[in-house]
Amino acid sequence: MMQLVNNVRLAQSVVRQHLTDDPVILFLQLSRRMPAAALPLAKRVGRWAPKDATSSAVLFAALAAGDTADVERRLRIAAGGPVRGERARRLADVALAANLPDVADVLLAKAGTARHVKQARARRLWYDGAVSDAVAALDDAGTAGKRQQARMAAEAAILADAAPALERRSFTPVPGRILHLLTNSLPHTASGYAQRSHSTLLAQKEAGWDVLAVTRMGYPVQVGKLLAKTTDTVDGIRYQRLLPATMAQTIDARLQQQADDLLAVALEFRPSVLHTTTHYVNGLVVRAVAEALGIPWVYEVRGQLADTWASTRGPEARQSEKYRLFQNRETEVMRDADLVLTLGSAMKANIVAAGIPDSKVIIAPNAVGGAFLADPQDQASARRELGLAEAGQFIGTVSSLVPYEGIEDLLAAFVLLAPEMPELRLLIVGDGSSLPALQIQAQRSGHADRIVFTGRVPRNRTPLYHQALDVFVVPRKDLEVTRSVTPLKPVEAMACARPVVASDLPALTEIVEDRVTGRLATAGDPASFAAAIREVFADPERAAKFGAAGRERVLQERTWAANAVALARELEMLGVAR
What confidence score (pLDDT) does residue 13 get?
81
What confidence score (pLDDT) does residue 66 get?
83
pLDDT band at 91 (very low <50, low <70, confident <90, very high): very high
pLDDT band at 3 (very low <50, low <70, confident <90, very high): confident
Report d(CA 428, CA 66) in Å as an integer: 17
Q: Which residues contact 349 (CB under 8 A, 6 or more apart)?
A: none
What confidence score (pLDDT) does residue 401 get?
94
The number of CA neighbours under 13 Å toward the Cβ of 493 is: 29
DSSP classification of residue 477: -
The number of CA neighbours under 13 Å toward the Cβ of 117 is: 18
What confidence score (pLDDT) does residue 578 get?
78
Give yes or no for residue 1 having a pLDDT over 80. no
pLDDT band at 41 (very low <50, low <70, confident <90, very high): confident
Report d(CA 41, CA 64) in Å as an integer: 10
What confidence score (pLDDT) does residue 224 get?
87
Give yes or no for residue 374 having a pLDDT over 70. yes
pLDDT band at 145 (very low <50, low <70, confident <90, very high): confident
The one-letter code for the residue type at 573 is: M
What confidence score (pLDDT) does residue 157 get?
98
Q: What are phi and psi of 299, to 5 degrees?
A: -115, 120
Task: Sort strands 500-503 and 518-521 into parallel, antiparallel or unpaired.
Answer: parallel
With residues binned 3-state (H G I as helix, E B as strand, rest as coil), the percentages for the chain, rounded to 5, are: 55, 10, 30
Task: Sort strands 231-234 and 237-240 into parallel, antiparallel or unpaired.
Answer: antiparallel
Buried b (16+ CB within 10 A) or exposed e, 242-265: bbeeebbebbbebbbbbbbbbbeb
What confidence score (pLDDT) does residue 176 get?
96
Which of 3, 285, 47 lies closest to 158 in space, CA to CA?
285
CA 431, 435, 436, 440 dihedral sign is negative
When the pLDDT of each residue in the chain is averaged and rounded to a whole number, the result is 94
Give the bridge partners for 425, in sequence order: 394
What confidence score (pLDDT) does residue 36 get?
62
**Quick check: bond before 220 cis, omega within 30?**
yes
pLDDT band at 210 (very low <50, low <70, confident <90, very high): very high
Give yes or no for residue 27 having a pLDDT over 70. no
First CA to last CA distance, the chain: 39
Q: Higher-confidence residue: 338 or 25?
A: 338
Which of 470, 457, 458 lies closest to 396 in space, CA to CA?
470
Q: Higher-confidence residue: 116 or 19?
A: 116
Report d(CA 20, CA 152) in Å as an integer: 12
Q: Higher-confidence residue: 28 or 441?
A: 441
**Strand order across the 339-342 sheet:** 231-234, 237-240, 210-215, 177-182, 273-277, 297-301, 339-342, 361-363
What confidence score (pLDDT) does residue 16 get?
76
Residues in the chain: 578
Give yes or no for residue 37 having a pLDDT over 60. no
What confidence score (pLDDT) does residue 32 get?
64
Which of 393, 392, 410 lies closest to 401 in space, CA to CA?
410
Give yes or no for residue 444 having a pLDDT over 60. yes
Tens digits of residue pLDDT in 515-570: 999 999 999 999 999 999 999 999 999 999 999 999 999 999 999 999 999 999 99
Instruction: Answer yes or no: are the C-beta atoms of 512 and 395 closer than 8 Å.
Output: no
**Quick check: bond before 499 cis, omega within 30?**
no
Give yes or no for residue 26 having a pLDDT over 90. no
Q: Compute CA distances 107 → 110, 217, 393, 397, whole Å.
A: 5, 37, 49, 39
What confidence score (pLDDT) does residue 35 get?
63
Q: Percent of the chain at pLDDT above 90?
A: 83
DSSP classification of residue 378: P
Q: Which residues contact 65 (CB under 8 A, 6 or more apart)?
A: 39, 42, 43, 45, 46, 436, 440
What confidence score (pLDDT) does residue 262 get?
98
What angle do helix axes 56-65 and 38-48 make, rounded to 10 degrees?
130
